[in-house]
Structures are given as structure tokens and as C-alpha cells.
Amino acid sequence: MSLKADRRAPKLVLKDVSVHFPGQQAGETVEALANLNLAIDEGEMVVALGASGCGKTTLLNLIAGFLKPSSGSIFLDNHAIVKPGHDRGVVFQKHALMPWLTVLENACFGMKLQGVAKAKRQARAMELLTMVGLEAFASSHIWHLSGGMQQRLGIARVLAADPEMMLMDEPFGALDAFTREAMQELLLQVWSRSRKTVFFITHSVDEALFLATDLLVLSPRPGRVVHRERPAFCREFLDGVSSRTLRSRTDYIHARERIHAMVLEGAQPS
């Protein structure tokens, strides 16, 4: 059986990836990412953490296929990524739902594009709306949803299309602090049930530490991974420890301050 070998093979591989953007002045170029090498395992909650300008959004856009690298290549399950596809669903910070569709139709959208029969896609979409607690709003318009509910719909929409990976571009960045924590808890529950590989970017140290099983600290100019560790707080949360208990524990606070210092240090102009 090749099952053992498959398990060991990483889900996502970035090989010598560099990204150059045109700079402010003509002829000038900005190096957003330089010779980045990265391997991500299946089923992990990967969180890329960094200050603005560290290339974390660039990294997500590369994996999503929204951006072609200047050099290097990216592989998902050993297939080179050349464009966006339904194997990589994306949850955006905002503005990504379709206001001409109801909540249920938004959740069905991916399956509709792929030609899944109406009854089948609606049944599957309802399952996911239930998972994110929106089953009562199936026939609502999206502008009647709060910011947190809209992001829950964004997650349901991606999972309904059954991707190999879920990419999340600062999905809770526009939410208030209380909603944000509730959404983090919901995400962990959804992730533990769906077993999807998640690539999540944020500039919140707390969010990164609470969610990640694989935490990448990025530093700017050019963007590179300066630190990587494997926190286990999310597993404790999923085992029943409350998030408030976790967050007030000294090991959590120490880890948070240590990583915070790392981000600040990396963000210093050299």
C-alpha cells in the first residue's frame, strides 16, 4: 500500500518561490518574497503571522493561484498550481459574498458552478449552514447578516465546495473582539470535524497562537519565515479546556509575549 508514503508526503510545497512587484518609482522593484521554501502537512491548521508588508497576503494569493510567482513553483498534492481552482477555497476578510443570492444560494454557489444537482447541493449546503449555526437564516438576504454571520457563511460556502485546502485571508480582522473570539472557537470546531488543511493569515499574535498547530512567523523585506513552531493550545481547546482558561494561563501568556517580541524584531528596519 502506498498509504504510508502518501501520509508522509506534504500536502503543499513551495519551492524557491520569489515574488517581485513594481515599486513606487519607475524601474524600482520590491521583493515581496525571496526564495521561499515551505512544506505543509495534511490536516494542519497553519497560521502565518506577521506585521503588514511581510508578504503573508502575497503568500496566500500564490497558494490560491491569484498571483503567479516571479520564479519558483507551488505544488498541491504534487500537482503544480497555475490558477485558482475549487481544490483551494478562500475565505476573504470581506466583500466576497454575492448579494444577489440568498444565504442558502451563496452556500450552494460552488456546487452550482460545478453542476451539482439542485436537491443534492441544497441538502449539502444546509448541512454546512447548520454546522456554522446559520440554518435559520437560509432564505435571508446577506445584508441582513452581521459581520460575524457573513464570515460564517464565507466558511460554509468554501466547505460546501469540498476543497482540499481552506485559505483564510485575515477572515476575522474586521470583527469586534468578542465576535472574533467566538469565530475562532467556531473555526476550530469546524476544522476538527472537516479535517481540512487550513492556511490562515493574521496579524494578531493571540489569534495565531490560539488557532495554530503549525505557526509561521514572517518577517518583511523580503518576506521570509523567521520562526516556526507547533503550538498545541487549539488541541487543548478541542479537548474541552475553555478559551478563557487557556488564554489566562502563564504558558500561553509567555508564548504570546515571546512570539510578539519576535514579530516586532522582524519588523524592525534592518
Partner 1 sequence: MKSSTGSIRMAKVFGLPGRGSSTLISVVTTVFLLSAWWLVTAMNWVSPLFLPGPGAVWQRFWEVAGSDGFAGVSLWGHAKASLFRVFSAFGLSCISAIPIGLAIGTNRIARGIGDPPIEFYRPIPPLAYLPLTIIWFGIGEVSKVLLIFLACFAPMALSTRAGVKSVAPEQIHAAYSLGASRWQVLFHVIFKAALPEILTGMRIALGFGWTTLVAAEMVAAEAGLGFMILNASEFLVTDVVVMGIFVIGAIALLSDLAMRSLEKALVPWKGKV
The SS3 call for residue 74 is strand
Q: Does 153 bind partner 1 (CB under 8 A)?
A: no
Among 103, 129, 158, 215, the residue binding partner 1 under the rule CB under 8 A is 158
Q: Does 88 bind partner 1 (CB under 8 A)?
A: yes
Q: Does 118 bind partner 1 (CB under 8 A)?
A: no
Least distance between partner 1 and beta carbon 238 (Å): 27
Q: Which stretch binds partner 1 (CB under 8 A): 158-166, 177-185, 229-237, 258-266?
A: 158-166
Residue placing its CB nearer to partner 1 in the complex, 142 or 218: 142
Cell 460575524 belongs to residue: 148
Q: Are strands 12-22 and 29-40 parallel, antiparallel or unpaired?
A: antiparallel
Q: Which stretch binds partner 1 (CB under 8 A): 8-16, 96-104, 119-127, 257-265?
A: 96-104
**Are the CB atoms for 18 and 68 separated by under 8 Å?**
no
Among 92, 140, 204, 236, the residue binding partner 1 under the rule CB under 8 A is 92
Q: Indicate the DSSP class of residue 163.
A: -
Q: What nine digits make up the cell of 89? A: 477555497
Q: Which stretch binds partner 1 (CB under 8 A): 31-39, 121-129, 140-148, 209-217?
A: 140-148
Going residue by residue from 37 to 76, which x/- string records binding to partner 1, judged by CB under 8 A?
A: ---------------------------xxx----------
Q: What nine digits make up the cell of 93? A: 476578510
Least distance between partner 1 and beta carbon 83 (Å): 7
Distance of alpha carbon 164 from alpha carbon 159, whole angstroms: 9
**Are the CB atoms for 17 and 72 separated by under 8 Å?**
yes
Instruction: Using alpha carbons only, give the angle 137, 199, 236 rounded to the nearest 5 degrees.
Output: 80
Backbone angles phi, psi at 138, to 5 degrees: -50, -40
- For helices 103-113 and 118-131, the axis angle rounded to 10 degrees is 130
Q: Which stretch binds partner 1 (CB under 8 A): 68-76, 84-92, 189-197, 219-227?
A: 84-92
Interface residues toward partner 1, by CB under 8 A: 64-66, 83-86, 88-90, 92-100, 109-110, 113-114, 141-143, 157-158, 161, 163, 167
